[in-house]
Structure 1
Amino acid sequence: GGFGNKVGAYPGYICAAVASIVTGQPVKWVEDRMENLSTTAFARDYHMTTEIAATKEGRVTGLRVHILADHGAFDACADPSKWPAGFSNIVTGSYDFPVAHLSVDGVYTNKAPGGVAYRCSFRVTEVAYAIERAMDIMAQKLGMDPVDFRIKNFIRREQFPYQSALGWEYDSGDYHAAMEKALAATDYRRLREEQKARQEAFRRGETRELMGIGVSFFTEIVGAGPSKNCDILGIAMFDSAEIRIHPTGRAIARMGSKSQGQGHETTWAQIIATEIGIPADDIVIEEGNTDTAPYGLGTYGSRSTPVAGAAIAMAARKNKAKAQMIAAYMLEVHEDDLEFDVDRFRVKGNPEAHKTMGQIAWAAYNRVPPGMEPGLEAVSYYDPPNMTYPFGAYVCVMDIDVDTGTHKVRRFYALDDCGTRINPMIIE
C-alpha cells in the first residue's frame, strides 16, 4: 500500500511541480538520505500503558489504555479520521471486553514531523502490539497458556456483527477457526512440550539454548472510509468510478485511486469482466490523471479494493441494469424474464434466445427502447457504510543461545483472513 513517507505531500514535491509548470521544463527533486529523514515524517514513537482486568478463571472484564503520542514538530500527515489519534480505538483487538477506556495525549517535540503510517494504517499496528503484549503478560500472571487465554476471550462467531466497547462495529469474523488452523499448522501443543523439555535440560546444565514460542492475533480496521467518521481535513473519504462501454463492446474505466504497483489495473478489469462479461483484455483502465479521473482519496490504508473496488463494481452493475432493459427490448420480453449468463442475457427457459454484451453495446447507441437515453455508461460514488476488519494469527518459533544472544527463527507461520480474494495471484 501507500504506507510511510509515500502518503504525505511535502514542500519539495509541491515546489518541483510548480516550478515545472511555471518554467515549462522538467524539474527533478533530489535529496540525500539525511535530508529525507529530517524533512519527511516518522511514526511509531508511542508510549503506551495498558491495564487489563480479569477474573481468576481468565475471563477479561475491562481494559484501560493510555497513549502518549509523539507527533514531532507538527502534524505533517492528514490522518483519515476525525480523531488525531487515528484508529487507536481498535485497541480492544479480537477480544470481548465488556468495558474499555482509551485516552491519547499528543505532544509536540523538536524532531521531524510525525503522524504517518508504516506497515499498517494509522495507529492500528501500535495498538495491536499493545493489546497482544498485555494479553501475554496477563496470561503469565494467571498461569495460563497464552493461546488458551486468548481463545477464552475471543469474540465468538455468533456475536458478529459485534459492537466493540470503544464503538466500532466488526462486520464478521471467525477468530477461533483462524487460531485453531494456525495451531494445527505449527503443531503448537507439541512445540510447548518440546519447549518444556528444553527448559528442564537447561536447568540440568545439559544445554545453553532455550526455545521461544510467540503467538499473536490481530484484528485490523482498514478500508477508510465512511464519511460519517472518516475524513481528511473535512474532505470525505469515499471513492468513485466511471465506466463507459463503447459501441464495439470494449470499455474504458476511469478511477479515482492510483496503483503504486499493487496490480489495481488487473483487479479493476477483473471486477468489470465478472460483473458484465466484457473480456478483461477489452477493458482499458485509466487512473492517475486528475484532469479526467473521478473523485478519489488515494491509495493507502488498505482502502483501494474495499472502497474504489466497490465503486467500480457498482458502476458496472448500473451499466448491467441498463443493458438488461435494452436486451429485453431487443428480445421482446419483459426484463424480469431475462437472466445473466457470463457475457449475455438469455430468456429464462429458452437459453437459445439471448443477446451478448457486444450486441447490447451496439444497440445502446443505435437501437434503444423509446424514451431511453442512448449510450451505456455509468458513474458510481461509493461511501462505504463501515470499515473492514481483516484478522489473523501468527506463530513464531525461535532458538536462543543464552550466552551469546545468538538467535535463529526456526519457523514463522502467518494466517491472514483478508476477506474475498478477487485475484489470489496478486495477493500471494
Structure 2
Amino acid sequence: MPKDYGIGASSKRREDVRFLTGRGQYTDDLSIHGQAHAVMVRSNVAHGKIVSIDTSAAAAMPGVLAVFTGEDFKDVGGNPAGWLIKSRNGEPMREPKRPVLAHGKVRHVGDAYAAVIAETYEQAKAAAQQIADDAVIDELPAIIDMKAAAADASNRVHDEIPDNICFDWGWIEDNRAAVDAVFKSAPHITTLELVNNRLVPNAMEPRASIGEYFPGTGDYKLTTTSQNPHLTRLLVAAFVMGIPENKLTVVAPDVGGGFGSKIYHYGEEALVLAAAKKLGRAVRWTAERSESFLSDAHGRDHVTKIELACEKDGTFLAFRTETYANVGAYLSNFSTATPTFLHGTLMAGPYKVPHVYVNVKTIFTNTAPVDAYRGAGRPEATFSLERVIDKMCRELGLDQFEVRRKNFITPDMFPYTTPVGLAYDTGNYQATLAKAIEMADVAGFDKRAAASKAKGRLRGMGLSTWIEACGIAPSHLVGVLGSRVGLYDAATVRVNATGNISVMVGAHSHGQGHETVFPQIVAERLGVPESSVEIVHGDTSKIPFGMGSYGSRSLAVCGVAMNKAIDKIVAKGKKIAAHMLEASEGDITFEDGKFSVAGTDKAKTFGEIAFSAYVPHNYPLETLEPGLEETAFYDPANFTYPAGAYICEVELDPDTGKVDVVAFHCADDFGNIMNPMIVEGQVHGGVGQGIGQALLENTTYDENGQLLTGSFMDYAMPRASDVPFYNVDYSCQTPCTHNPLGVKGCGEAGAIGSPPAVVNAVIDALHRGGMTHVTHINMPVSPGRVWQAING
C-alpha cells in the first residue's frame, strides 16, 4: 500500500498553496519605506573602448539621486571564479577581473557600465537613457567565433590575454598517449562533430535585488533572487566589497526558478548595496525581461569533436574528445568547473570503456558569460557520448540496445573507477534499460511506424542511456579538482517546547519542494505530523551555513546534514527518557515517536521528552543541558551517481521538416525515493527543458555580437503543445551506499538524458525513410534544419 505520510509518500507540495493563490513573497513584491530605484546603463555594442561617460545631464534630471560608473568601483575587488583550473602545461587559468560596472572597455551587449538611482523607476530609466545617449564608446571588432578567437592574437576580449584562451585543459593528461595508441590500431573509428547550443535560462522570475544599509550598526542587508545566499554573502563580503561577513545578511525569499542562473553573484547585487550606503536608504533593482536575455549567465555553448574507437562488434575501446567551450566575456562563478570537472569526468558514461581522454579549451568571446545551467556539464557529456554511439551503431549495422547493454558496467563490478577518475558506488544500468524497453513497447514500434507512414509521416525511436555526478560537495574531491571553497552543508533542527519543530537548512528551495520533502523525513524519523515541521531557508542570519541548491545536492548533502542533526536529537532524547523512566540509556529504544524501555510498557512520547527539555522539573541537569536543538554539518565521501535510460519517439513530416515528440519514456535510478510525486515533477520539468534544447531553443549572436534572439518573439521556448505526456518510472533503485538516506538526486536528470534521445529519434526517422545520408543535425533540430538535411 502507498504510504500516506513520511518517507516514500506522495505528500502534496505545501508551498503550492501560497504560490497558486498569489500569496508568495518574491523580492520584487517587497516594498521598503523610502526605497529608491536603480536602472543599469548597458552597452549596445559587443566590444568597445569607453572614451567618455558624461553623467552631468542625467544627474540633473528630476528625481535622480546618484549616478555610478565603473570608476566608482575600480578600486574594489572583482567577482572571482569559484574553481581554479590549470592548463595541460600546468599553468593556472587566465582570470581577468570581473568588475561591478565595466570600465575601460565594454565586452558584450548588455555589459553594464553605469547605473542611475532615482526616486522612481521611470525617472531612473529616463536618466539611464540620457547617459547612454551621451556616452562615447569606440566600437571594436566583435569576437564571436571561438576557434577564430583562439587563432587571432590581434583582437582580444581582455587586452592581457593574447589568444583569448582561459585555459587548455586535458583530462586525464596521463591518459592521452594510451588513448592515441588505441586509435592508431582500432578496427573501427566513428567521428562526429557537434554543437551543444547556447541556451538562455529564462526563469519565471527575473533577477531582482534590494540593498539596505543601517548606519547605526554598520550592517548591510541584501534581499535577492538567489539559489545560494551564503555563497553570495561570501563573494560580496570577502571579494567584491570588503564588508566583514558578519555585517552582511543575504536573504532570498520566494524565488521563481533558477535552473543554475541564480547560483552566482552578479554585479547588480553589489551595486544596490553600495548605493544604499551612499544614499542612506534602500535601493532596489529588478531586471526587465530583455535585460535577462542580455545579462543573465547563459548555458551550454560547446563545439565538440568526439571520436569513438571500437571493435567491429561494437565493444568500446576508447573515447577521445576535443571541445571548445565558450565562457563569454567574463568568468562567472561556476564557469570554469562546468566544462571541465562537471563534463570531462563524465565522459565514460555508464560504460566500461577502458580509455578516455578529454581536451577542453575555454574561450573568451564578446558574448554574455556562460555558466551552469540545469545539468551543468553533464548534458554536454551525455549528448556527445550518446550521439557518437548512435552514429557508430548505424555505421556498423548494430542494434542500439545491444551495443549499450554489451558495454555497460555490470552490477558485480561496483564500486567501479572510471578512466576519468570517478568512483561509481552502485548502479544497475541493465535494469533501467530493460525497464525503458518494456515501458516503450519497443517490440510494437514497427506497427506504430507503419501507421505513421500511412499518414505520410516518418516515425523514429531514439535511445539515451546516461549517468551523472550529483551531490556536488565532497570537499576532499572538489579541492583536488580546483574548488576554492568547501561544498559541505549544514542544518539545525530545533524542537520547540510544545513539540513542533523548526528546521533551518542551507539548501535553498526555488521549485524543488524542500518545504514538503524535508518535513517528510523529519516526520518519519521523529514520529511527528509533517504539518508540525517548518522549514526555514534562504536567510543567512537564521541558517548556520549552506552552499545552496544546484547539482542535485539538496537531499544528498543538506538532507543528510538534517538527518544527522535528527540523530543528535534522538540521542539526547534517549538520555532524557532514561532519566525520566529510571532506566539505563542503553535500554531505551525510539520508534514511532515513543521512547520506550525495552521489554516493558514504560514509555514517553516525543512531545513529553521535548517538554521536559524546556521545563526541566524532572531532568538530568547535572549531566545534560536543557533545550532540544542540534546542528550538524555534512561533507560526503563521494558524489552520488543517478543513471537512467530514456526512449523517445518522434513523428516527422518530410515535406516540412517539422518534428513532433509523440512519446517519451524515462526509467531512472535515483536511489531511495523520498516523495514519488515530486520526483516525477522534477523529471517532467527536466525533460521539457531537454526537448526545448533539442528542438526549439537557440541563442544566436550575429557577427557584430548583437543578440538576435533577445526576446520571446525570437527565442523559442517550449510550450505545452511541444511536449507529450511523459511515462516515468523509478522502480530500479540502487541506493547510494555512502549516505544514510540512500538518495542520489533527481533534479537535473530529465535535462541530461533527453536531448540525445530526441535527436537520435529524428535521425532514426530519417534513416527509416531512406535518407541515410543524414548522419547528424545540430540542435535545435528545427523544421528548417531538418528540411535542409533532407534536401541535401
TM over 0.5: yes
Matched, 1:173 2:424: no
Deviation at 1:70, TM superposition (A): 1.2
- The one of 332, 356, 365 equivalent to 1:76 is 332
Query: Match of 2:366?
Result: 110
The one-letter code of the counterpart of 2:380 is E
Give, in whole Å, the separation in 2 of the partners of 1:233 and 1:160. Answer: 27
Q: Are the equivalent residues in 2 in contact too, given 1:46–1:70 (CA < 8 A)?
A: yes
Letter of the 1:6 counterpart: K
Shift of 1:404: 2.5
Distance in 1 of aligned mates of 2:535 and 2:461: 46
Tell me the TM-score normalised to structure 1 length: 0.91
2:627 to 375, 383, 392: 375
Conservation of the 8 A alpha-carbon contact between 1:80 and 1:230: no
Among 290, 300, 304, which residue is 2:540 paired with?
Answer: 290
Partner residue in 2 for 1:92: 348
Identity of aligned residues (%): 37
Deviations 1:322-352 (A, max 9, x none): 11122122222222222222101112222x2
Consecutive unaligned residues in structure 1, runs of 5 or more: none
Change (3 A) 1:53 1:192: farther
Note the 1:220-231 alignment, pairs <5 A. Answer: 220-230=468-478
The letter of the residue matching 1:151 is: R
CA distance in structure 1 between the partners assigned to 2:659 and 2:339 by the alignment: 40
Out of 247, 268, 273, the residue aligned to residue 523 of structure 2 is 273
- The secondary structure found in structure 1 opposite 2:285 is coil
* Mapping of residues 8-407 of structure 1, within 5 Å: 8-20=264-276, 23=279, 25-79=281-335, 81=337, 84-114=340-370, 116-120=371-375, 122-192=376-446, 195=449, 208-230=456-478, 234-350=484-600, 352-365=601-614, 366=616, 367-369=618-620, 370-407=622-659
CA offsets 1:349-383 (integer angstroms, 9 cap, x no match): 22x21111111112224133342222222110100
Alpha carbon RMSD of aligned pairs, Å? 2.4
Counterpart-to-counterpart distance in 1, 2:665 and 2:266: 38
In the aligned structure 2, how far is the partner of 1:270 from the partner of 1:198?
Answer: 46
Deviation at 1:301, TM superposition (A): 1.7
Q: Please report how far the alpha carbon of residue 105 of structure 1 lies from its aligned counterpart in structure 2 after TM superposition.
A: 1.2
Aligned to 2:89: none
Equivalents in 2 of 1:288, 1:54: separation in Å? 49
Q: In the TM superposition, what is the alpha-carbon distance from 1:152 to its structure 2 partner?
A: 0.9
**Which 4+ runs in 1 deviate beyond 6 A?**
none
Aligned to 2:35: none
User: Cα distance, 1:20 vs. partner?
Assistant: 4.0
Task: Write the deviation string for residues 60-89 of structure 1: whole angstroms up to 9, x where unpaired.
Answer: 122212211111112123359598553431
How many pairs does the alignment contain? Answer: 419
Q: What is the CA–CA distance in structure 2 between the aligned matches of 1:108 and 1:189, rounded to whole Å?
A: 48
Q: Which amino acid aligns with 2:476?
A: K
Deviation at 1:143, TM superposition (A): 1.3
Cα distance in 1 for residues equivalent to 2:518 and 2:571:
19
90 and 180 in structure 1: CA distance in 2 versus 1, 3 angstrom threshold: same
Distance 2:270 2:442 in 1: 52
How far does residue 296 in structure 1 lie from its aligned partner after superposition?
Answer: 0.5
**Distance in 1 separating the partners of 2:410 and 2:662:** 32
* Contact kept? 1:337, 1:348, Cα under 8 Å: yes
Structure 2 unaligned regions, length at least 5: 1-256, 681-792
2:534, 2:455 → 1: CA distance?
A: 63
Query: How many Å separate the matches in 2 of 1:278 and 1:246?
Result: 13
* Contact 1:216–1:393 (8 Å) recurs in 2: yes
Contact 1:393 1:415 in 2 (8 A): yes
Q: Is the 8 A contact 2:343 2:380 kept in 1?
A: no
TM-score, normalisation: structure 2: 0.50
* Greater mean alpha carbon deviation, residues 398-407 or residues 311-320: 398-407
Any conservation in 1 of the 2:344–2:420 contact (CA below 8 Å)?
Answer: no
Mark the CA change 1:48 to 1:426 in structure 2 (over 3 Å): closer, same or farther.
same
Q: Aligned equivalents of 1:108 and 1:14: distance in 2?
A: 24
